[in-house]
Amino acid sequence: MAYAALLSLKHLLEHTLDHDYQYLILDEKQQIESLLQNLCFLQDFLDHSPQKRSETIDCLESQIRDAAYKAEDIIESHIKDRVHEEIASKRGDSFTPFFHKLEEVIEEIDSTKKRLEKIKDENDVQDLQTRMEPSPDSLKQHASSGKSSMVGLDDDIIEIKDQLTGGSSNLEILSVVGMGGIGKTTLTRKVYDDELSVYHFDIRAWVTVSQDYNEPGLLLGLLDSMKKLTDKMPENRFEQLAEHLYKNLKGMRYLIVLDDLWDTKVWDDVKHLFPNEKNGSRIMMTTRLENVGGYANSCSTPHHMRFLNEGESWNLFCKNVFGKDGCPTELTQIGKKIVQNCQGLSLAIVVIAGLLSKGTKTQHYWTYIGENLSSVIASNNDNCSKILSLIYKHLPHHLKGCFLYIGIFPEDYDISVSKLVKLWVAQRLLKPVRSKSLEDVAWEYLLELVDRNLILVREKSSIGKIKSCGIHDLLRDFCVREAQREKKLIDLDNSLQNMRLRSVLNFDLEHYLPSEKLINSRLLGVFDTNDTSIDEFPVNLRYFAFNFHVARSFPASLLYVLRHLQTLICPLANVNLAPEIWEMRELRHVKVWEMVLPDPHSAETEGKNSIIVLDNLQTLCNVVNFRCTEEVLQRIPNLKKLGISFDSGAVLDWGYYCLNNLARLLKL
């Protein structure tokens, strides 16, 4: 994670050195520029360092990470102090401690740089000259279809299909039991999506239950899967949701899947909601726990998942590494040894295959991976966890931060890709690429992670673009553990005043986050809240979302504090914005229920020689009575998505709104 820490700090320094913000660090500009030069060297070193490295380099990388965190904390804390001093119209005494703290961390980074230069010059690490580059075919997306590969288990599929479509006319429950990563969900999904199931059942619904189970959430998930949700549906009234579900199932031959059950209580809570019409309806459930599977599956024996045999494991491996091509003869022997170490666990096989599909397909590289795999398995009984550690170690540096960040989402959560991309940008996890927006870079990272079988595609749009994604429970658990080890994840309940608190996302509207404490976090960059009483905002905020019906004003004084804001999401709010919104250069996405957007001040009024252009702004929704004047559109040349509405009763002259000028937005 040293690389991600460097990226974030580098973004911050470049942003701070921008002419609009230089006054915040004017006295320390030379220090900042010196620090930036050192960061460029360190980033280049990590870019070109091999994945097989010595303990010395690993130790130095940890030092780089900690120093980068420290520098980021110091600078952002100083920016917060300066902004508050300006608001209070006074200059405080924060400069002296800031200068000394910054000087100290610069010395730390400079010392680390010199040690790395010495290692590089003396070539102490043999592999520095033998970096393992990705193979030319690494851009092929063998796994990006979003469909989990299914190899073997044909007899299991036939058996389950027979149980679903034949047998008794009574409502029956079939449990699929097995350890994490063995393929329960993949097998169940294969049967669920089968043409026979689609034809045989009048209605099908799938919901993932997980350990953080709540009754309304389960019912909402089922109704959503059945396309029976309406805007008027109460999200937290279990009785009304239960009645609505029961009525929609009544008289239907249905197939319900309850994926990932962890407690018998879940079945006790919901079993009465599934009417037994004696028409052959079926319920499937997957679980890791034998007692849970046997409890609900009272009429028959649960279906126990088996490990893949040697041939099935090899076929699954080859399918994920080579696609339709076969394994070259020279790699077959070492490849089979690698597969053997996965011990028939499908998740382990596909993530190892994802790693090897991206690397050089040479005996040298495969032997290296095979030896590492053998050693980690021999050292610990938790084979899958150790395999995931190896996979993470060999991820390209630029993907590690984005991968770990996914651990912030709840277990079995359907992650909106649009939201994930904005969060990656706000967290400064992306390496800028010339002529590409950061959002485009984020999409490339996402596809790389999908291609490596580390992210699951949940839903695609009609044109094949990924809309939502997820992550296997075992992979999420790994992300959480590793992020905690890397000091990137904390327990919110115990750390509300933690200085490094940077992301707060609320996934449960029933639980209230104590915003009055969170806003005092000096470094908070991402804030997703359900609190409507917020009057103050963190100075360093880059992503802000709130989810309540509310009228909200953003006066000039508030926009001044939110000068670093990139994304504003208020899907249920009516928002009034001050003209100073047109001076917020960092804005990338603004999406609210309704907003009143005033005309910008003219350059003459602002006393400036030229207008401020919001080059980064890509989304602007939903503006009421938007005036598309030539001056306005000049300020938003890269807008890709614009939502506007007009109050026809208030419109006297359509020419006043200059809609013909929309043709000037070439990227819209």
Alpha-carbon distance of 589 to 500, in angstroms, equals: 25
SS3 state of residue 484:
helix
Low-confidence ranges of the chain (pLDDT < 50): 124-147, 493-499
Alpha-carbon distance of 560 to 266, in angstroms, equals: 49
Alpha carbons within 13 angstroms on the beta-carbon side of residue 327 total: 23
8 Å CB contact between 447 and 141? yes
DSSP secondary structure letter of residue 649: T
pLDDT score recorded for residue 41:
85
Alpha-carbon distance of 415 to 76, in angstroms, equals: 29
Element (DSSP H or E) covering residue 591: strand 589-596
pLDDT score recorded for residue 131:
40
CATH 3.80.10 residue ranges of the chain are 490-664
pLDDT in tens, 529-557: 766 566 677 788 899 988 766 667 788 88
CATH 1.20.5.4130 residue ranges of the chain are 1-129
How far are the Cα atoms of 324, 488, 592 from residue 31, in angstroms, in the given order? 55, 26, 40
pLDDT score recorded for residue 577:
86
8 Å CB contact between 404 and 488? yes
pLDDT score recorded for residue 388:
85
Alpha-carbon distance of 411 to 407, in angstroms, equals: 8
Residue 523 structure tokens: 């470094």
Among positive and negative, which fits the CA dihedral 523, 525, 527, 533? Answer: positive
8 Å CB contact between 216 and 235? yes
Overall fold of domain 490-664 = 3.80.10
pLDDT score recorded for residue 138:
37
pLDDT score recorded for residue 444:
95
Overall fold of domain 154-304 = Rossmann fold (3.40.50)
- Whole-model pTM: value is 0.78
pLDDT score recorded for residue 133:
39
pLDDT in tens, 628-643: 888 888 899 999 999 9
pLDDT score recorded for residue 140:
37
Overall fold of domain 1-129 = 1.20.5
Residue 321: Cβ-neighbour burial (10 angstroms; 0-12, 13-18, 19+)? buried
How far are the Cα atoms of 261, 399, 467, 478, 488 from residue 404, in angstroms, in the given order? 25, 9, 20, 8, 9
How far are the Cα atoms of 11, 16, 428, 436 from residue 432, in angstroms, in the given order? 9, 16, 10, 8
pLDDT score recorded for residue 25:
61
**Residue 169 phi, psi dihedral angles, 5° rounding:** -80, -10
Q: Are strands 550-554 and 466-470 parallel, antiparallel or unpaired?
A: unpaired
Alpha-carbon distance of 623 to 88, in angstroms, equals: 33
pLDDT score recorded for residue 119:
74
SS3 state of residue 83:
helix
Q: Tokens 């030092």 correspond to what residue?
A: 63
pLDDT score recorded for residue 137:
40
pLDDT score recorded for residue 609:
59
